[in-house]
Amino acid sequence: MGRGRIEIKKIENINSRQVTFSKRRSGLLKKAKELAVLCDAQVGVIIFSTTGKLYEFASSRMEQILARYNKSRDSSEVATVENANQEELHSEVNALKDELEKLQLMHRRTMGKELEGLSFNELQELEHQLTEGILSVKDKKEKKLLEQLEKSRLQGQKVVLQNEALREQIEELRHHAGLSRENRLHGKKDSCITSSSIQEYIPDKEGNSDVSLHLGLSSVDHREKRKVPKMESNFKSPMVID
């Protein structure tokens, strides 16, 4: 008569639980050892009892087995993440392709192509969209023209102001040049008056000065009047006859 199937659940009886634990622990460690020997596999078993006691088995060093386990787990996690990322990217690529196809179809329809499958309402909606687009383009064009006009007006005002500033500079330079010319002419007149005044007071070779000019007599008349008495004195000298 065979053994009956035992229900897998927690054993409530403490003594029975401890006996079962000892038997199955020994069997598990035995099976792990057989698996390592028969299949040349790295096997590591770690068991903690309810009392906290440790039981373990390792076909090689437990540290090496744990390190390999952690490395393999990390690699599997990375691979899982990469697979998930690839699937997400693939779905995004498909969505973008669908969106691109829709946009291309819309572009062709706005150009008046591939309109056969559209209903009356769809054609009317397309017409409305095109009308709004044309109005938006016209508004944008008018704004651009107004901006260019305003910019040209400001540049014109700037040029006018620059011309006014240059004109003021030219007038100022002309004014300074006129004053300098008048000052030079006035200096020449003063030098001429000074030289003529000096010549009036220069004495002649006979020691006579030109003061007679101020008295209304010329230098020639003055010399003649001085010479005449000498000549008369020579002619009126008496002659004695014995």
Low-confidence ranges of the chain (pLDDT < 70): 1-4, 76-77, 187-242
DSSP character for 5?
A: P
Say how many residues make up the chain: 242
Q: At what angle do helices 62-110 and 120-200 cross, to 10 degrees?
A: 90
Strands 44-48 and 54-58 turn out to be antiparallel
Q: What is the pLDDT of residue 118?
A: 82
Q: What is the pLDDT of residue 46?
A: 92
Q: What is the pLDDT of residue 51?
A: 86
Domains of the chain: 11-60 (3.40.1810.10)
- pTM, rounded to two decimals: 0.33
188: number of CA atoms within 13 Å, CB side?
5
Helix (H) or strand (E) holding 232: helix 219-235
pLDDT, averaged across the chain: 77
